[in-house]
Chain A
Amino acid sequence: MEKATSLVQIKGIRDGLLAAFTAAAWDDLCFALLAQIDERPSFFQGARLAIDVGSQILKVNHLVDLRDRLSERNVSLWAVIGESPTTEHTAQLLGLATRISKPRPEETQRADAAEDTALYINKTLRSGKRVEFPGHVVVMGDVNAGAEIVADGSVIVWGRVRGMIHAGAKGDRTATICALDLSATQLRIATEVSALLKPQKSPKPEIASINPEGHLQSEIWHTG
């Protein structure tokens, strides 16, 4: 008991409970957390739990296992906060939040790097997938209907776009969106919104930007 509480600190936050993990072995941490829950099952019944894993690097099987064991105890894991990009990526894959309502201080540092960093995604984004990035986003693959990309910079898709793309999300009106086939359900650049919806018979690469009149428009890509 003594050991369990010192490994994992559980406290109440606005969105439910937050368990802060110390830097111990993952299995021990899970064990300690579950032990605490088993000790007071009525308190944890139906709780929404976020975990702060610090610098732990977690793979999908780690989190799936913990989530399942929590769900057996009727505790729903909804957020995983961590410093490692791998952990953050894993959490996103599983549809878990990676931030809780209180913004973390790192966010501001990230914004500075926005100008010259890009997120490279080497697969098709399927329905339900949401990618948010404080820089540019490059996708090698399609963006299917129901997927969303929100980038502070520009978005380039080497494939078809059927989902929603928001470039310049923090207000950059010079951001652009380009794709091999741009028949998105909706495009947004900064505050401009455009529902293009014109499936083409023979799609050509297009680039969407805000024109001098201030409207979002897309045009066929011309080289040179």
Chain B
Amino acid sequence: MIPAQFDYLAPSTVEEALAALAQHGDEAKILAGGQSLLPVLRMRLNAPEMVIDLGKITSLRGVRDDGDAIVVGAMTQHSVVGSDPLVAEHAALVSKAVEHLADVQIRHRGTFGGALAHADPAGDLGAPALALGAQFVIQGPGGTRTVPAEEFFVDLFETAIGEDEILTEVRLPKHTGWGAHYEKFVRVAHQWPIVAVAAAVRVDGGSIAEARVGLTNMGNTPVRAHAVEQALVGQPATPDGVRDAAARAAEGTNPPSDLNGDADYRRHLATVLTRRAVLTAAGATG
């Protein structure tokens, strides 16, 4: 079970990578940390003729403070994002989601941008990125453009990144002082969530002043639970205050049915996990 043959390039700049991509077109596949791509290649679900490895492009790694946003380089490993103090202070929802993403070894290799570009609806980063209103910086032959999260995720394993483009960084708008929690329901510790809920709330005087809620694996893309967010505003941060709002979590979703559970089961899970996520984010118990 090894991959089919492919040619390999490891450019040292984004410009070189874009040139290689332009030359090889849809015969090429971008390799970031490889923790999703290599299993795909090993199982021969995909057999690109050219693999372009971004691993030597050091400018794509790291986390920085840029005024109203924390900027995460696309090739920054999950383990680095998960322990970064800037992310923890200003985008805690991402820290919480990364904490239990896959397992330790995968977090050492897998990258923030790679996971988001892979756009697995069961991936742990899409819902937090969507909930926080992340901006995706994409570079192509014509220059750089920025795509908001709600336009980035297009469909199952499909994003707004064009065939001749590369995701270079993700801007996370600061949510300083917000409580955050990622509630993930799994059967086996390191597996993908059956459903997960990413919640960030700003509590003011015991009441929820603002809320952001994203759902994992409740459709072909991450889903923003707008109805829950609106219903939470003004509610006390208590089990009774949150329950009715959380009950709206599945509105407008189209979850899959598979061996782990059918769509109705997932809709039910979404409401329960949303209640837990919001209460934990708000510092309440329930």
On whether the two chains bind one another, the answer is no
